Homo-oligomer: A and B are copies of this chain.
Amino acid sequence: MIPNWLMQRAYLTPHKTAFSFGEERWTFWEMKDRALQLAGKLKGQGLASDSRIALLGSSNPEMVFMIQACLLADLEIVMLNSRLTAEELQWQVKDSKAATVLVQDSLRHLVHPNLPVLLFSEVEAGQSMAHVPQELWGPDRTITIMYTSGTTGLPKGVRQTAGNHTSSALSSVLNLGLEEQDVWLCAMPLFHISGFSILVRSLLYGMEVRLYEKFDAVAAAEEIRQGTVTRMSVVATMLNRILQELEKQDQMAHPSFRTMLPGGGPVPVNYLERAAERNMPVLQTYGMTETSSQTATLAAQDAIRKIGSAGKPLFFNQIKINGAHAAGDVGEVLIRGPHVTPGYIGHAATEDPLRDGWLPTGDLGYIDEEGYLFIVDRRSDLIISGGENIYPAEIENILASHPAVLEAGVCGQAHPEWGTVPVAFIVKQGEVTADTLTAFCEERLARYKLPKAYYFVNQLPRNASNKLLRRELKQWAAQQEGHGNLERSD
């Protein structure tokens, strides 16, 4: 059994800072009081224990309190990505059968009018009902559900249990350590596991989270320079921008800044070298929604010696390469451990994420003779753009639904800022322009998923059995680099 995180933490270290936001700060006791009050109001709205709600908000205190309130009210939270379109959100809410969508007032416009909505202000203004939070949670209790797209293009709701989140935080502390003065800067979205897992660590460790509503490279660089934060999670592009800020004024990371944790894809060597010059320890990490954050992490001292490696597994995890007989053999990366999801909800509920007890990641990799993991290739179709996962099939399905499109093939193209961006190859069956297709997609896809270039071709590369040859498509895209007709603007 696992103690209710917030209730236990507020009891153990009531006066420690739980999180700060701008000039404001809250202790664990204050957080618990506020969350308990809100939990009573959620109960007043008739939300029964163990029911499921969807939650849409930004990374601000209101949202943090609402997350904690949902946990105290025994609700399963479907964490909605605020960058998705109304249609995408609607699909997830319906698939998850969420009783209602809890929405921060300012984001009301993102939600389809047909969906049942409960605004944060409505909860606040409503009646309260007495509620005593559970003291202990079973390890299999669902805490969060995050949608991630599969190869079919249909997003799947991944269950992240109390046991998953807890063991992830414990594995991480055995790797990163924990100091009295630790403060974790959170500028990753809370609806992603990268952001949410920081909140979990905070409760287990009794550690302050320094929360930012949006990533701010200038502010982050300043906190790192002054040592007012000691850890930070980023994606590569954020790391680059922070380094640029430090470089501008030839400033170093403060000696007490101990961990820059970049996830969501490989970090360019150039960034690693520049970080080393700024005395900034960078610990590259490999994780995914299905593993409630990090599975493997590379020690800072190995960053250059083991360039390109995702490191070794964290203590409670195991990694192996499917079919490998010797060090260096390439195969699908398989993961096992208490942090691996027990499964999905909704349309994918009957799918078992495991194969013989291991999670097949779809990523190709190898383990070297010292036991370090190297990811050779993300699952061939996956595009990681600025830390967001994009599945070509989802975009192709949308494009193919346009009357003037006969066939569409989507793949990633290198991009100086985002690492990779999606681009589309189109076989027309009528007149259509890139602008028209962009407008068409904008109604149906989150901005970051919009193809950044359209290439009109006579046919797509296919094999004898008519299967799209994605590797060949990527080669085409590489040849076209710089000739795109649209720039990403988010």
Contact = CB atoms under 8 A, between A and B. Distances in A.
Contacts of A262: none
A324 to B, nearest CB: 16
A456 interface: no
Interface stretch (A1-9, A382-390, A403-411, A415-423): A1-9
Interface string A167-211: 000100110011110000000000000000000000011100000
A246 B173 CA distance: 33
Nearest to A180: B177
- Number of copies of this chain in the oligomer? 2
Contact of A174 (B1, B11, B178): B178
Q: Interface residues of A toward B: which range? A: 20 to 34
Contacts of A313: 12
A112 to B, nearest CB: 41
A287 interface: no
Interface in A130-182: 135, 170, 173-174, 177-180
A11 B316 contact: no
Contact of A135 (B2, B12, B318): B318
A312 interface: yes
Contacts of A1: 338
A174 B3 contact: no
A60 to B, nearest CB: 27
A312 B11 contact: yes
A132 B315 CA distance: 20
A197 to B, nearest CB: 16
A12 B178 CA distance: 18
Interface string A318-341: 100000000000000000001000
Closest 10 CB pairs of A and B: A177-B178, A178-B178, A170-B170, A12-B312, A177-B179, A11-B371, A174-B204, A179-B179, A173-B173, A177-B180
Given A1-B338, A8-B315, A204-B315, 13 more contacts: A2-B316, A3-B315, A9-B315, A11-B312, A11-B371, A12-B313, A12-B315, A173-B173, A174-B178, A174-B205, A174-B206, A177-B180, A178-B178
5 contacts: A1-B338, A173-B174, A174-B206, A177-B177, A177-B179
